[in-house]
Structure 1
Amino acid sequence: MIRGIRPLLRGSTYSGVLFAYCGALASLPLLPFALLPALSWRSAPERVQLVLVLLVWAVLVGMVGLARPVRRALIVSARRMLRVPLPDPATGRRTSGSLGLDRWRTPLWLVLHVALGWTGALVSGVLIIAGLTLPGGWLRSEAELSLFGWSVRAEGGWGSWAAALGCLLLAAAVCVVVTNALRWLAPRLLGPSAAERLALAAERELQLAERNRIAHELHDSIGHTLTAATIQAAVAGEVLSADPAAARAAMRSIEESTRAALEDLDYVLGVLREEQSGTAPTRTLADLPELLDRLRHAGAVVEPELSGELAQVHGTLSRAAYRILQEGLTNALRHGAGGPIEVRVAAGPDGLDLTVVNRTGAGTSTGKGPGAFPTSGHGLPGLAERVRLLHGEFEAGPDGPQHWRLAVRLPVQVSVRGSE
């Protein structure tokens, strides 16, 4: 019983009825135009004229729904008054489905909306009038209401009150039925079509890919900076009294590296907030000497071996190579067991070879003990994914009893095409 009357206590039920009635009233300006064919065919029977008026009226109402702003207005109003979660319509170019049957969903919604609105208004209006009129004869032996050839008679004083209450409850039930019918139709006719859902899914996929790319960039840049700054701060603290010059050099290196990381962070936050961010700070192989200097200030011994025309490596290949070396050196600095870090970069006509070798410590050649290069987390999977997208070759694992080796080969042809 309580569950049955619960919809009658919700404000959304009556806002939905108001939405239906407003749609019915909005169609009234089209009624004079719908009467024109019937007026020009006066010899037709009355029923034929009535059917003709209704058909022309429905066609005129449906034609209004072909305008794109009408669909947007209907979605917004249905979302607020029917409390139905409807996404905004796509604002880009029309899909192939929007030119077919999907184009007629809005006209169909308008016709059904107007039909339900008028039906609900007439039926509930008659019932409300009956409910308010029947109790007028409660002092007499009977009460009767006649309307459009229909009559309701209640015999006895209290019978008229019972009939009136029944009419009012039926009017409320009509409101619930109209609202629920519109709520059922709204997602099917005003919601996204199959073609629009595919377009939204493709757009969402592009956004997720961009966010994943940003996450990789943020991990590479901020992770490296925090690792280097932590080690440099520790070194500065140890030599502050014995070697103030070395401590000042370490602090300057921390300032430079954190400033560069702040530029990356500002760009990433701008993208995540969907603001008009500036050009993304790009790090390429031209910035490799600065990266190696920051590692040296952190106390690491770096042995670089650069060969080939690195200055001629541009675009996606150069940026990806820098990030790969940054991640490899960061992990070598964070998880290595001291000793020199070997960095080899060789640019050839067919590809770019990147190698980072660091010491893992005695008894840790399996990569599972302290000082080994990590085999879990975001480092190696992120590198492997970046290399895979560039159609490159990726290898990471023990190199002898006490070393870890990261080797990557990136093909020049694929990377050059991807950067154009």
Structure 2
Amino acid sequence: MTRGFRPLLRGSTYAGALFAYCGALVSLPLLPFAALPALAWPSAPEGVRFVLTVLVWAVLIGVIGLARTMRRVLIACARRMLGVPLPDPAAESARSTAPGADRLRTPLWLLSHVALGWAGAQSAVLLVCAGLLLPGGWAGAEAGVSVRGWSLRPEHGWQSWAAALGCLLLAAVLCLAVTGALRWLAPRLLGPSSAERLALAAERERALAERNRLAHELHDSIGHTLTAATIQAAVAGEVLGADPEAARAALRSIEESTRAALEDLDYVLGMLREEQTGTAPPRSLADLPELLDRLRHAGAVVEPELSGDFTRVRGTAARAAYRILQEGLTNALRHGAGGPIRVTVTATPDALRLSVVNRTGPGGDSATTAFPTSGHGLPGLTERVRLLHGEITAGPDGPDHWRLTARLPVRLPA
């Protein structure tokens, strides 16, 4: 019993009803314009003129609902006054492709809002007035309420008090009904349409893909830098006394590699903040010579075989190719058994072929040897290549070597 009265004690119930009544009041300035056709037709019956005025009034309200900014305003008001979780409207491009029925939902909401506001306001005023006038002690003997021939006269006794309390309770229930109706209509008329839901889903998918791309960028860059810096620091420590010049070269290489990693980190953070200014451009195949030099400073023997004009590869393919080579070289440094690292880059008019081959030694012929620890290396590369409709393989190459190969379809500019 008490639970049934709880909605009548909530302020949100009366805030929603007030929202409806304010909608009715806001529509009042349109009434004089709606009455013009009826005034121009004085010979028409009174009922016809009344219906004509109401119809023109409804058309004017609906036309206002077609305004571009009106939907955004109504959504904000409904969220505030009704407590309905409505998302922001989709982009204008999504609304422009929406069916005509979807574009009419905002005018229909306005009409429903105004109709519920007027019906609820008139009924609530009558009920509150009846509740105040029915007790005989509160008004004169001749006071009462009369609506279309139906009258209520104040009487002494508990019956009048019970009737007054019933009227006030009905007014509260009416506020609850109006608020409930608006809350039921809001998601259906102000919520996202099917076209807007598709646009929101596509936007979420693009955001998720961008986050995954940035995660791959950060993993590849920082992972490579930490691996190279660790090896270079070890080399510098070993030769510090015997060959100070080599130690200084290793320290310079650590400085260069960490600076490059900071630039990559700055780029990723700039993308996350949606601030492109001041961020470094993403790495591409143009940065491959610098990458190979850093590996040589770390003590690795790199044997590059470069053919074709791969510097003309641009965009996503160039960035993905750089990260594939960087990941392959990082794992060759981390898990290789010494010996030269063969790097092959071949650019043809329709494809870019990449290969990294390093020595693993006995027992190093498993994927867990080449890509251990977190296991994000090979899956990340596979995802990059899959998005570009390319091919990638990684596995043993003979008894003591590991080969990573990738083929990316590209179209070189003429």
Structure 2-normalised TM-score? 0.90
Q: Using the TM superposition, name which of 249-258 and 225-234 deviates more.
A: 225-234
CA distance 1:311–1:52, shift in 2 (3 Å)? closer
Any residues of structure 2 matched to 1:140-151 within 5 Å, and which?
145-151=145-151
Residue of structure 1 equivalent to 2:178: 178
Q: Tell me how far 1:26 sits from its aligned partner.
A: 0.5
User: Residue 386 in 1 paired to residue 369 in 2?
Assistant: no
Q: Tell me how far 1:14 sits from its aligned partner.
A: 1.8
Q: Tell me how far 1:357 sits from its aligned partner.
A: 1.4
CA–CA distance in 1 between the matches of 2:280 and 2:201?
Answer: 26
Residue of structure 1 equivalent to 2:252: 252
Amino acid of the residue matched to residue 332 of structure 1? Answer: A
- The answer (yes or no) to whether the contact 1:228–1:330 under 8 Å persists in 2 is yes
CA distance 1:411–1:375, shift in 2 (3 Å)? farther
Residue of structure 2 equivalent to 1:298: 298
Residue of structure 2 equivalent to 1:59: 59
Q: Tell me how far 1:24 sits from its aligned partner.
A: 0.3
Residue of structure 2 equivalent to 1:115: 115
CA–CA distance in 2 between the matches of 1:143 and 1:312?
Answer: 93
SS in 1 for 2:146: strand
Residue of structure 1 equivalent to 2:358: 358
CA distance 1:87–1:345, shift in 2 (3 Å)? same
Any residues of structure 2 matched to 1:1-400 within 5 Å, and which?
1-93=1-93, 95-98=95-98, 100-137=100-137, 145-152=145-152, 156-278=156-278, 281-368=281-368, 371-374=369-372, 377-400=375-398
Residue of structure 2 equivalent to 1:410: 408
- The answer (yes or no) to whether the contact 1:131–1:166 under 8 Å persists in 2 is yes
Q: Using the TM superposition, name which of 35-44 and 397-406 deviates more.
A: 35-44
Amino acid of the residue matched to residue 404 of structure 1? Answer: W
CA–CA distance in 2 between the matches of 1:310 and 1:56?
Answer: 69
CA distance 1:83–1:253, shift in 2 (3 Å)? same
CA–CA distance in 2 between the matches of 1:312 and 1:271?
Answer: 25
CA distance 1:190–1:309, shift in 2 (3 Å)? closer
SS in 2 for 1:162: helix
Q: Tell me how far 1:299 sits from its aligned partner.
A: 3.1
Q: Using the TM superposition, name which of 7-16 and 90-99 deviates more.
A: 90-99
CA–CA distance in 2 between the matches of 1:128 and 1:21?
Answer: 15
- The answer (yes or no) to whether the contact 1:143–1:155 under 8 Å persists in 2 is no
Q: Which runs of 5+ in 2 are unaligned?
A: none
Q: Tell me how far 1:361 sits from its aligned partner.
A: 3.1
SS in 1 for 2:362: coil
- The answer (yes or no) to whether the contact 1:138–1:161 under 8 Å persists in 2 is no
CA–CA distance in 1 between the matches of 2:328 and 2:195?
Answer: 44
CA–CA distance in 2 between the matches of 1:48 and 1:190?
Answer: 33
Q: Tell me how far 1:99 sits from its aligned partner.
A: 5.8
CA–CA distance in 1 between the matches of 2:276 and 2:163?
Answer: 66
Q: Tell me how far 1:356 sits from its aligned partner.
A: 1.0
CA distance 1:144–1:295, shift in 2 (3 Å)? same
Amino acid of the residue matched to residue 80 of structure 1? Answer: R
CA–CA distance in 1 between the matches of 2:303 and 2:325?
Answer: 13
Q: Which runs of 5+ in 1 are unaligned?
A: none
Amino acid of the residue matched to residue 220 of structure 2? Answer: D
CA–CA distance in 2 between the matches of 1:404 and 1:191?
Answer: 55
Q: Using the TM superposition, name which of 261-270 and 296-305 deviates more.
A: 296-305
Amino acid of the residue matched to residue 218 of structure 2? Answer: L
CA distance 1:308–1:114, shift in 2 (3 Å)? closer
SS in 1 for 2:338: coil
Structure 1-normalised TM-score? 0.89
- The answer (yes or no) to whether the contact 1:236–1:247 under 8 Å persists in 2 is yes
SS in 1 for 2:269: helix
- The answer (yes or no) to whether the contact 1:102–1:193 under 8 Å persists in 2 is yes
SS in 1 for 2:389: coil
Amino acid of the residue matched to residue 112 of structure 1? Answer: S
Amino acid of the residue matched to residue 84 of structure 1? Answer: V
CA distance 1:158–1:83, shift in 2 (3 Å)? same
Q: Using the TM superposition, name which of 278-287 and 186-195 deviates more.
A: 278-287
Aligned length: 414
Q: Using the TM superposition, name which of 186-195 and 170-179 deviates more.
A: 186-195
CA–CA distance in 1 between the matches of 2:103 and 2:350?
Answer: 52
- The answer (yes or no) to whether the contact 2:136–2:156 under 8 Å persists in 1 is no
Deviations 1:113-132 (A, max 9, x none): 00000111111111111111
CA–CA distance in 2 between the matches of 1:407 and 1:82?
Answer: 59
CA–CA distance in 1 between the matches of 2:120 and 2:245?
Answer: 87
Identical amino acids, percent of aligned pairs: 76
CA–CA distance in 2 between the matches of 1:335 and 1:364?
Answer: 9
CA distance 1:134–1:387, shift in 2 (3 Å)? same
CA–CA distance in 2 between the matches of 1:159 and 1:118?
Answer: 30
- The answer (yes or no) to whether the contact 1:271–1:277 under 8 Å persists in 2 is no
- The answer (yes or no) to whether the contact 1:154–1:163 under 8 Å persists in 2 is no
CA distance 1:89–1:315, shift in 2 (3 Å)? closer
Amino acid of the residue matched to residue 116 of structure 1? Answer: L
SS in 2 for 1:259: helix
Deviations 1:252-311 (A, max 9, x none): 111111111111211211211122435651323332222122122223332333334444
Q: Using the TM superposition, name which of 115-124 and 9-18 deviates more.
A: 9-18
CA–CA distance in 2 between the matches of 1:277 and 1:208?
Answer: 22
CA–CA distance in 2 between the matches of 1:225 and 1:373?
Answer: 16
Q: Using the TM superposition, name which of 182-191 and 349-358 deviates more.
A: 349-358
Amino acid of the residue matched to residue 356 of structure 2? Answer: V
- The answer (yes or no) to whether the contact 2:95–2:103 under 8 Å persists in 1 is no
CA distance 1:192–1:140, shift in 2 (3 Å)? closer
SS in 2 for 1:93: helix
Q: Tell me how far 1:209 sits from its aligned partner.
A: 2.6
CA–CA distance in 2 between the matches of 1:373 and 1:244?
Answer: 34
Q: Tell me how far 1:245 sits from its aligned partner.
A: 2.9
